Structure 1
């Protein structure tokens, strides 16, 4: 019996922040996959190796975690005063599903470098030495992101001494600014309140801050749901009852935020909203063995991603943390001690991260002008990815 040959597609495997993903130039994809739809989704699922009931991604490029089951498609920009269009697809591990509902803030740090190296940025905007400001149009959330990519001798500088907790080795620093990070036409606080009471059948009733910045996020107090706030992945991800409880809270929070009409619909948007729990600062040992003193941080934050406690912090959730921390009265702000501030340092399972935001109240409504953080990125491998033919190709 004859079997068809594999499809060969130019691709680059990159780390951005604490995530990894497979990057494509839109025009390099097979023609049928250059448009949104089931053919594109089927191709990306096969690239990553999903769905995988073994949760290993042995037959694909994924890493069987929410941080490493990611795909990126870049293309010439469709927007004035921008350099590149960036589309992100979060690939489910054990389901035949690609979630296009949000952005990946970590991989955003790699977008500028890939865009420059792929010839998608006008050469006149790239200095021989210095910083190239790549203006990114984030297609999923219809927002502008500015990535400051270091350039040396006309090429992207990837090596450096910038250390990012959650990443083993140092690299060049890439500053990323998320401009007006709330979803288009949406309020920063979708319920109109800084703090709401969230009632979750079978779980309880507790305070929550619902914020729409970077990515829709639900913040709750760790103590209100039975945690300290300094938990590690093994404390949460090995507890199936806890994971189910978090997903139930997330589903009901999504309804409260107006993202879905019924909790059952949360299954179709596993990437958003995120749910995180916060607590005042405390001393703990990070997953690397690094000792974090309570005096090193302003608060503790732990966040769930695709049904699991994240090993560090998602970039988009860090944007939400920055915005909420800089608005007096939110649960995040109160956990950090309350009051006005322009930045915070928070603890996460892998260490610490400093984030900042510019916020202001206009006619009684809070607005987030931008949120800023530093990440790093580098090419891990480039060439072609090969996949068996999928339906439609």
Structure 2
């Protein structure tokens, strides 16, 4: 056996509270022409088989082990298509079954900075189609006077560095992954985790998610500094059970670590954030804590925030039962939902139609370019090959 490498051009971005390697499809297709080959390529590039991701460019955590391949589609439904990848850590697998709003934030900025979408006079709107789910998103980037932004002053909870402001919008229709906003047809279901039964709202908006009352699992959200280790088996079992109920896998299929998203919700209350800051009860409308792969998310994924926002608008859901109603400062304007997370409070803007159906969820985020690199992807090959 001998080891050989191939060069792969990558663009490293922080989007919101995630780090993502972005790859232009033109640089990927010479090495990987289909999804299985893309999986293998990314697993090797990230060093996924090692829990430290030592021989690759992965960050060793779920929020820093992400990638997307981007195709420019100037005559398509959107300006670009992208395939999101959640890369394994200590496991040479790559899951292509979900979406990531934080990475989509980075992709919007990348599209403007790379010239995929030419900058416009004041703001530039980038329409993006997620190939994993079929969802269409838009990211709005400030381009004053048609200039391409290289830095900015926008900040988000969970990151200390400023970045370029990006407004990210998720658009209906929902249910792109499972075919329905409520895959089971119910606003609340009973799911089993071994011998225990839990109430859950199973919703498909932004990403499939299973949302459970924190009190049913015994998770105290007055502090979000712990690692949830004692509750991890229950949450993982809940994800597996929810995946079956939502039609995301068959009984003979192994559970996935990325979908559905799984987390717990509670009514607003004073709580201690991950950095020790005390967050006051009157600053948010509900508290949320979710898993990212097999560890607690340090903030909240944007697709999960969309799922929470839509579930909050469904009377009888576990989210609506604990949340203060979203409010609007101006009649007719989007309603604001303030979500308490381990990193602090994030706000979603929820737009509804005349019938009260959610048609758009928007978030204000920040992104910044970190590096562009020629990645040496290590591969093993037989000497006779």
* TM-score (ref. length: structure 2): 0.91
In the TM superposition, what is the alpha-carbon distance from 1:163 to its structure 2 partner? Answer: 2.0
Name which of structure 1's ranges 112-121 and 334-343 shifts more when overlaid on structure 2: 334-343
Equivalence map 1:1-393=2 (5 Å): 5-29=4-28, 31-37=30-36, 39-52=37-50, 55-77=51-73, 80-121=76-117, 123=118, 126-128=119-121, 130-152=122-144, 154-180=146-172, 182-184=174-176, 186-202=179-195, 204-232=196-224, 234-236=226-228, 239=229, 241-262=230-251, 265-267=253-255, 269-337=256-324, 342-359=335-352, 367-389=357-379
* CA deviation string 1:277-302 (max 9, x = no partner): 00011112222333211111111000
**Partners of 1:42 and 1:391 within 8 A in 2:** no
Structure 2 SS opposite 1:224? helix
Unaligned runs of 5+ in 1: none
Q: Distance in 2 between matches of 1:287 and 1:317?
A: 19
Q: Cα–Cα, structure 1 residues 340 and 118, in superposed 2: closer, same or farther, change >3 Å?
A: closer
Q: Distance in 2 between matches of 1:153 and 1:383?
A: 30
In the TM superposition, what is the alpha-carbon distance from 1:147 to its structure 2 partner? Answer: 0.4
* CA deviation string 1:11-37 (max 9, x = no partner): 111111100011110011251413222
In the TM superposition, what is the alpha-carbon distance from 1:158 to its structure 2 partner? Answer: 4.4
* CA deviation string 1:146-172 (max 9, x = no partner): 100111454432433322101112223
In the TM superposition, what is the alpha-carbon distance from 1:232 to its structure 2 partner? Answer: 2.6
In the TM superposition, what is the alpha-carbon distance from 1:183 to its structure 2 partner? Answer: 3.1
**Partners of 1:230 and 1:348 within 8 A in 2:** no
Name which of structure 1's ranges 55-64 and 105-114 shifts more when overlaid on structure 2: 55-64
* CA deviation string 1:102-135 (max 9, x = no partner): 11111110111212222322x3xx224x210011
**Partners of 1:160 and 1:170 within 8 A in 2:** yes
Q: Cα–Cα, structure 1 residues 309 and 65, in superposed 2: closer, same or farther, change >3 Å?
A: same
Structure 2 SS opposite 1:388? strand
Structure 1 SS opposite 2:116? coil
Tell me the matched-pair count. Answer: 376
**Partners of 2:135 and 2:206 within 8 A in 1:** no
**Partners of 1:136 and 1:146 within 8 A in 2:** yes
Unaligned runs of 5+ in 2: 329-334
Structure 1 SS opposite 2:175? coil
